[in-house]
A and B are shown apart, each in its own frame.
Chain A
């Protein structure tokens, strides 16, 4: 399979990485900004793909090296022709005080299956950064996903109140 590394999309790369990991019995959950990219159909483009995995870097390294990704620091990988970074984060998947997250979404692509946060959890993940750091970009990303996908607003409201961020939730809600 010939891969055009310089034009590959986040979704294609995530599908490719997901299939390679799965082939070697490694579960990797895509989290962070690249979920926003996928759910917003590239209205926001993240340059890194963050995976949460229980596998060690020692196990991941040979899988990624087969497709040309080299380990650049203890947990991150780069490809000489690909514009995206891949990083592996310590488990479990958690959002705010709620953990572990065990229900994920699966998206089928031509290059493989992506296992990632659900749209609702993706919105929560972005809002968590907005709540904690007042990060305006995270708020915009949460709004992008909320406008692009069906999400459970009631659940996001419940979670926001638990995170003691009811007023910031209302700012988010009013922008939808």
Chain B
């Protein structure tokens, strides 16, 4: 949808994912989309260098989120919101409706 604007489909998926969940890490996105982790990491690096995402280590995991200082953040998020809403319902359900609320350790699924 926006892949031609962003240059490739992986960066579109990364931005959609961070927009929906607020923060994300490479393995999580790699598992979710079934894309090689290297490809995801490459795009995360590019987006961080461009000042669009920022990251910090939490434990052993590098978590990425939007850079609140990014000048066009509001406009970018509006664009991403619109694009995500235009996705087929099946795709939204599959990738962008994951559980984010807490689950007690040891609780059966």
Contact = CB atoms under 8 A, between A and B. Distances in A.
Contacts of B71: 91-94, 99-100
B49 interface: yes
B64 to A, nearest CB: 14
A89 B68 CA distance: 14
B70 interface: yes
Interface residues of A, number: 16
A132 B70 CA distance: 13
A73 B25 CA distance: 22
B49 A128 contact: no
A97 B74 contact: yes
A95 interface: yes
A90 B49 contact: yes
B74 to A, nearest CB: 6
Interface residues of B, number: 10
A74 B45 CA distance: 10
B69 interface: yes
Nearest to A125: B69
B49 A96 contact: no
B73 interface: yes
A75 interface: yes
A74 B74 CA distance: 26
A90 B50 CA distance: 6
A86 B69 CA distance: 19
A90 B54 CA distance: 13
B15 to A, nearest CB: 16
A128 B68 contact: yes
A99 B69 CA distance: 9
Contacts of A128: 68-69
Contacts of A74: 49
Interface string B64-78: 000011111110000
Nearest to A97: B74
The 5 nearest A-B residue pairs measured at CB: A99-B71, A94-B71, A90-B51, A132-B68, A90-B50
